[in-house]
Structure 1
């Protein structure tokens, strides 16, 4: 990000010396604050859009994708790349693959490993893992059955980066009888073994495909979305499943309370790091007892231990709500609201208390684009068009990536 000037160094020394003269008891938690992270060297503004941020478990390592060409020296204008910031205040690093664009970043909880997708000019896709400390990038070469091949899209990592969940598509060589749409696989970077995770239900009506949600810290559980690949068939065109590699069992997280078929789709699942909790978004109105006040999108939280399913409503129950992230212990959810309180909020599932995660400079709630919550719930990263709403002096007219420390 910004190069530190002599003036800044001098100011920092003065601040440090002043702090040494203060009593220890005066130290306390830092106030919540927002910074712009998609910034070029010297503090220059990005010349193109940035978005889709992800965070390490402690919120200190950040990755996102951007079309900007001036975030690092030598970048090619008009191409999409993944960028990683190894620590707060550290310079951005471009994550490049020769002859390809990069996207769909995912970080391990410890922040050391970054998974991402590449797409070559010949539309060949790859999944890679980068060691953030050494900048060494490894292209995975998983052995897939039925002539499936790695596809673009989201991947996910276990806490230490050993396990990588990724998507794969059928190819022209795939036998017709084996083509059941996109699949989810898990690759073990230690043993080199690949395991198929997703299987569409035997009673599935028509072609379906499965897509990566996330992986538990130890790699034993994977949540994924199962959807029709050729468009909705009726209103229930998406479901959420969790596969437990230890037991070999797969459970449906969006099952209704009375065993009836869901009347609408469920999508975008996320699994807590401890493997106890799933959050997903659903348009269904009959997953839990009672009337759905907004008859629209809501996040639902499924407890894999108690088998309890809970809907998250906004304080104004008719507002539309959707979730994007879940804390590592499953106790907090980052979700968005519509209406007068539009913005991103962190819901404490134990107390029911909401904390505004995306305030403007004036403290009012602000709507944003994509967002992510760190596993320890200390930090939120989000993208948004900014005209000085979140930080002063932002005038580039492009979506940027912001990081807010909540505590």
Structure 2
């Protein structure tokens, strides 16, 4: 009813206003101008092409819509200036680049767009990525700036390390001392953290302060949230935030959308104590949840009131200035180191490695590092790297990687007693199903029950826990594709290859070498430290090989960050 009364009142006011206006005008006024008043309407606006960088994959359907501002509708066409589109791709009059490219590389082309306000031309470029491509690629221009367009034909002018990848494989983070990834920002040759966007081809320096100043010392070991917005890394730089006076390696969080950088390895009041005899007191190895809200890292600093020893601990950050110590121990301060945390995608669980002997009740002083899983919220902690019957592992366990829901945890182990029959004498990859009534590690083998004939380390598990990537010197995992290059390679394996030794794996057990060129050639040098995307489609790693991108060419002679799409 209120709406109806207000409507009637409005109509009455309008009638009164019209009557008053007619009376005050004195009737017809022959001096009044005829026709419409005010400025003449604007004519059609000439088009401006707003599209810039475009990227796709070889043998993948491409649908890229070019865009323009101005008065439409628009029609698009290629000009004769540059018409280099890859085979299989055409430009439709609607501005849609479509088709399935069959060539890898960079293809400059020129478009003409015509609208009601005229026409204009613009030079563009389409980059098509092969099954293996390089993330540490350089700017196509020399214009200084924190974000640069990548040029797949040129590599960084210094080595690149420590790749990480987002859940969908779009964003890759890595560190590099190169001066040409974002020209003008790293003249001192310090290691900086970069983010590469696979879809746009842009490279961005993220180890910068909130004002955009690059770190003045080395920044390393980054991980990235699912949407690519939050990047966490550790750094020796003291100019990323105000008041950083500890002279040690700290953990920082970069929010790209908010353009902020904050330090999280500190107390609410500022610098944390550094116990002797560890004058460096570094914080290190951060891991992040999919949404970027939960971060775990290791630190030698006393970042909690319960931390009174001089050993490294694992801490949890959830946005509060108060950190949670995950490794306080029972019955007194625990002796030994803890680190290498891995946060589940949902942020509910943290797996980590620790040599501390009294983290849980009943743990024995076995002198080796073990794998633990912590439940966020409840504080529950349990060890998952024991041999059958709860027997302590007889070798070190390290490098855990946890699935998106925390159910599956993969890790490396030097132990020979986690499963019966482990006799190869090398480090192996194990997987634990934490939902099992009695969680027990299972060994990764191939269909022929072959254990690796070399060390296998640094596993990375997919969000659903179905796939694992790891690096290995073993040569006998994939009988269909003999490994003859004599160096470390990256493999992707199905979890069904994890068994109690003696029980053959199922037929879905497959090994695929990932560190191969776009032409399927074996890498001619080592590839190490894999990071598998959450969906298991892409694996990032760094490599000294120079033959992984033959169609583009790798001529910098340096270690680069690469990404391979699982075949």
Q: TM-score range by the shorter chain?
A: 0.7 to 0.9
Partner secondary structure for residue 48 of structure 1: coil
Match of 2:469 in 1: 334
Match of 1:83 in 2: 194
Partner secondary structure for residue 342 of structure 2: strand
Q: Does the Cα contact within 8 Å between 2:226 and 2:290 map onto a contact in 1?
A: yes
Deviates more, 1:216-225 or 1:373-382: 216-225
Aligned ranges 1:6-405 → 2 under 5 Å: 10-11=84-85, 15-17=89-91, 33-42=131-140, 43=151, 44-74=154-184, 75-97=186-208, 98-120=215-237, 123-140=247-264, 142-143=266-267, 147-148=272-273, 151-170=282-301, 178-189=308-319, 191-200=320-329, 207-227=335-355, 236-288=367-419, 290-306=420-436, 307-314=439-446, 316-320=450-454, 321-340=456-475, 341=483, 343-350=489-496, 351-366=508-523, 367-392=526-551, 393-405=553-565
Instruction: Measure, in 2, the Cα distance between the counterparts of 1:336 and 1:48.
Output: 23
Partner secondary structure for residue 155 of structure 1: strand
Partner secondary structure for residue 258 of structure 1: helix
Instruction: Measure, in 2, the Cα distance between the counterparts of 1:175 and 1:141.
Output: 14
Instruction: Measure, in 2, the Cα distance between the counterparts of 1:207 and 1:69.
Output: 42
Q: Does the Cα contact within 8 Å between 1:298 and 1:313 map onto a contact in 2?
A: no
Instruction: Measure, in 2, the Cα distance between the counterparts of 1:192 and 1:384.
Output: 38
Q: Does the Cα contact within 8 Å between 1:253 and 1:302 map onto a contact in 2?
A: yes
Q: Judging changes above 3 Å, is the alpha-carbon distance between structure 1 residues 200 and 256 closer, same or farther for their aligned structure 2 residues? A: farther
Partner secondary structure for residue 221 of structure 2: strand
Quote how far apart the aligned CAs of 1:187 are.
Answer: 1.2
Q: Deviations over 1:66-107 (max 9, x none)?
A: 111111111123211100123434221112344333111011
Partner secondary structure for residue 89 of structure 2: helix
Instruction: Measure, in 2, the Cα distance between the counterparts of 1:297 and 1:237.
Output: 14
Q: Does the Cα contact within 8 Å between 2:405 and 2:463 map onto a contact in 1?
A: yes
TM-score normalised by length of structure 2 = 0.62
TM-score normalised by length of structure 1 = 0.85
Instruction: Measure, in 2, the Cα distance between the counterparts of 1:87 and 1:312.
Output: 31
Q: Does the Cα contact within 8 Å between 2:348 and 2:405 map onto a contact in 1?
A: no
Instruction: Measure, in 1, the Cα distance between the counterparts of 2:305 and 2:258.
Output: 41
Quote how far apart the aligned CAs of 1:348 are.
Answer: 1.2
Q: Judging changes above 3 Å, is the alpha-carbon distance between structure 1 residues 200 and 68 closer, same or farther for their aligned structure 2 residues? A: farther
Task: Report how many aligned residue pairs link the two structures.
Answer: 395
Q: Does the Cα contact within 8 Å between 2:229 and 2:257 map onto a contact in 1?
A: yes
Higher CA-based Rg: 2
Q: Does the Cα contact within 8 Å between 1:148 and 1:174 map onto a contact in 2?
A: no
Q: Which runs of 4+ in 1 moved over 4 A?
A: 6-10, 24-28, 144-150, 173-177, 200-204
Instruction: Measure, in 2, the Cα distance between the counterparts of 1:363 and 1:323.
Output: 23
Quote how far apart the aligned CAs of 1:116 are.
Answer: 0.8
Quote how far apart the aligned CAs of 1:19 are.
Answer: 12
Instruction: Measure, in 1, the Cα distance between the counterparts of 2:396 and 2:82.
Output: 53
Quote how far apart the aligned CAs of 1:201 are.
Answer: 6.3
